[in-house]
Structure 1
């Protein structure tokens, strides 16, 4: 059984919501594709197709500027805009200037699908698509359209499609690494109960698979608390977890939910370590009433070193981003956005060398990228669409004195249970 076949696709958040919209828009999308999909040959002998017009490569961005992940979505997008500006100033790629077309879906399923339907016929690919459930809702169409998508989403359910590439470890593997940290460094032990608060849908339920796997191996009992993205007050969840006697908590949700969970737990005297998946923190939270509790009792699993990493590449990005956006704060969304667009840029460069800048050519170029590290500590391998580009996680701790609001407390690593999980799913 393959990893792809072994994963149950639970997409409760969006499937029923978007079904009618998909049916209505598919015909329009197909027509647009038929009208604009002819391959062309440039003067330099490079084959081109959809998303390239004149001397411009058009790339799509489907982001969240106004919803659950508004803060991170803004950082991801601005980092990608910075990359495009700098790349174009240096002459572009293959003689072409890059252009980003941005659509804000506000973490709304209908807007996300509508945005994909609008942009897919027009762009070469997507440097960003926030929301595992939304990517999953159009995944079949992505395979048909052959426009490369680099999602800001880490659900293992997205693996297997050659045109969707997960950058970094998936939520299940990341959660295993997170719980391993709680056991090795925060006192969680065999026989204990582990709370897990998670979003319904692909993100949370894939993370839950990870916590259940390591719980089974380590002799823990998982106490589940399923929530919706619109649930911002975690009082009821904290009360239930305290009553159950949990000794540690994983949260697979957004920054708002994490802040509420940690703050309410502190007020309720539930003094246990809490660790979140990579999208469950924003440094702006440190300025809220939950700030002291987050610094004391909260950790985050990340697919890379943070924006404040002590590397030349990180320091340059901090300097450049501050100059470009002096009024905006730094967070790890900057790293995520910069990494994704850099990966896409690398694929474009390789496709140019191969004389094939069609959608299929760009995807083939990415398949040849066996090692990629843009200075944030984790080597990425994109040669296997059935696997994430990495199985490692960095453990971060909120710290308002650190650049970007987090500091590294455990360097990139993969838990033994994560290796066993990967092997059992293959």
Structure 2
């Protein structure tokens, strides 16, 4: 198994002491282990995070909280990408180095972890959690100015040269999900649909999408807001049953999705359920909710599933299984690799321009207007005010497929998604 530079949870006192020490180092004007700046090997301009030997990249993830399964898969896939690049000779004559911190989906750990790593890396190939990215976005835009590819797709992150989503934002993804139900004639004008959503950036941005498409398609939306700590969806299912909904959208985590599908099936609410990209994990198929998920549950996502036979996912699935034998293959592997590949492509482009400064890397990503990482969708990073795509695959749980998901509908941007306006 490959080794990652990870940190196990510490006591609050130890973490606070470490952060204070690193803050003091950052205020001294030195980039601790991050490179002194100027012109380095090969005549390439550098600053924080880059030396003549190493390009340091950060990852802020969740391996112990509500998205622990996703965070582990994303991070290991990104380490696998780093290993492959290094085996091929690195980038710009330098090896890549991935440094990981587990924040446990806790703002009290995520923000200090960002503060600790920021002076030492050229950028972040992962920052899991829209609320945490939003909390430091202004600082990134005005002071730190380094490329951050979050494992988060809130439209509230748009408008930044440095914080860039790889995939459709939650609102557009939800528009495509509801449009899928309309196209499949599972719902029609005049129907009521339910929406369970996390409070905060993720769920509330997805809700913007369902409100938008509901108004355009003549649907009535029944809203149910929950906290990430809520795992029993009995009350929400009861509310939907009373309202007579014909379908449900869920913008939450895998545990909430499993509870919703299982409770609905047990309670006689026989309607399709469609979730955003993080509302599924293949382990759910082995639970009591498995039959309900296999029957009428769907997932909207911006990558081919890891179980696809297409060359990109198939090769990644083989390499991941070799590197991490016994670990579950899920769509976090595809999402993590896709973000790492986009970041790596920006680094290669920056190297061609002999500018591996933070600004040089961010500018390099802006130049990618037809990026294809081999996972089914071309991405346009040229406009920070827009997501890199408006397309979504619709995936279906399948216990016989590696990773637990298969393509139900090819990637497409619905008419409603194409008409959607951002920033209004």
Q: How would you bin the TM-score normalised by the shorter chain? A: over 0.9
Counterparts of 1:237-386 in structure 2, within 5 Å, are: 237-386=236-385
CA distance in 1, matches of 2:197, 2:211: 13
Q: 8 Å contact 1:190–1:218 — kept in the other structure? A: yes
Distance in 2 between the 1:382 and 1:67 partners? 31
CA separation in 2, counterparts of 1:232 and 1:186?
30
CA contact under 8 A between 2:156 and 2:201: conserved in structure 1? yes
Task: Quote the residue 1:35 is aligned against.
Answer: 30
* 3-state SS, counterpart of residue 162 of structure 2: coil
Which one of 105, 108, 114 corresponds to residue 107 of structure 1?
A: 105
Map of 1:15 onto structure 2: none
1:209 equivalenced with 2:208 (yes/no):
yes
Cα deviation, residue 309, structure 1: 1.6
- TM-score w.r.t. the length of structure 1 is 0.92
The offset of 1:32, in angstroms, is: 3.9
Match of 1:410 in 2: 409
Stretch deviating more after TM superposition (181-190 or 248-257): 181-190
**Equivalent-residue separation in structure 2 for 1:150 and 1:308 (angstroms):** 24
Give the corresponding residue for 2:9. none
Q: Distance in 1 between matches of 2:178 and 2:423?
A: 19
Deviations 1:379-412 (A, max 9, x none): 0111111111000000000000012101111100
Determine the structure 1 residue equivalent to 2:177: 178
Say which is worse superposed, 34-43 or 100-109, in terms of deviation: 34-43
- Number of residue equivalences: 403
Describe the shift of the 1:397–1:162 C-alpha distance in structure 2 as closer, same or farther (beyond 3 A): same
The residue number in structure 2 matching 1:7 is: none
- 1:186–1:273 CA contact under 8 A, matched in 2: no
TM-score, length of structure 2 as denominator length: 0.92
Task: Give the distance between the partners of 2:302 and 2:193, measured in 1 at CA.
Answer: 22
1:80 maps to which of 78, 81, 99: 78
Match of 2:60 in 1: 62
Residue of structure 1 equivalent to 2:396: 397
The separation in 2 between residues aligned to 1:238 and 1:197, in whole angstroms, is: 9
- Give the secondary structure class of the aligned counterpart of 1:400: coil
Structure 1 portions without partners, runs of 5+: 1-20
> 8 Å contact 1:307–1:318 — kept in the other structure?
yes
Following superposition, the deviation at residue 34 of structure 1 comes to: 2.9
CA distance in 2, matches of 1:78, 1:378: 22
User: d(CA) in 2 for partners of 1:421 and 1:154?
Assistant: 16
8 Å CA contact retained: 1:29, 1:117: no
2:149 maps to 150
Q: Contact 1:309–1:376 (CA<8 Å) still a contact in 2?
A: no
Query: Structure 2 vs 1, CA of residues 230 and 366 (structure 1 numbering), >3 Å: closer, same or farther?
Result: same
Structure 2 residue runs of 5 or longer lacking an equivalent are: 1-15
Structure 1 Cα separation of the partners of residues 41 and 60 of structure 2 = 32
Kindly indicate whether the alpha-carbon contact (under 8 Å) linking 2:299 and 2:396 is maintained by their aligned counterparts in 1: yes
Task: Name the residue aligned to 1:9.
Answer: none
Deviation at 1:186, TM superposition (A): 4.6
Deviation at 1:75, TM superposition (A): 0.4
Runs of 4+ in structure 1 over 2 Å off: 27-39
User: Matches of 1:33 and 1:316 in 2, distance apart?
Assistant: 45
Query: Whole-Å Cα distance in 1 between the matches of residues 29 and 386 of structure 2?
Result: 32
User: CA 1:320–1:33 in 2, change beyond 3 Å: closer, same or farther?
Assistant: farther
Indicate conservation of the 8 Å contact 1:29/1:121, yes or no: no
Aligned twin of 1:92: 90
1:29–1:118 CA contact under 8 A, matched in 2: no
Please report the RMSD computed on the Cα atoms of aligned residues, expressed in angstroms.
1.7
Distance 1:189 1:370 in 2: 36
Match of 1:138 in 2: 136
Q: Matched residues in 2 for 1:33 and 1:119: separation? A: 15
In the TM superposition, residue 53 of structure 1 has moved relative to its aligned partner by 3.0
Q: Is the 8 A contact 2:110 2:132 kept in 1?
A: yes
Counterpart of 2:122 in structure 1 is: 124
Q: 1:8 matched to which residue of 2?
A: none
Q: Is the 8 A contact 1:396 1:407 kept in 2?
A: yes
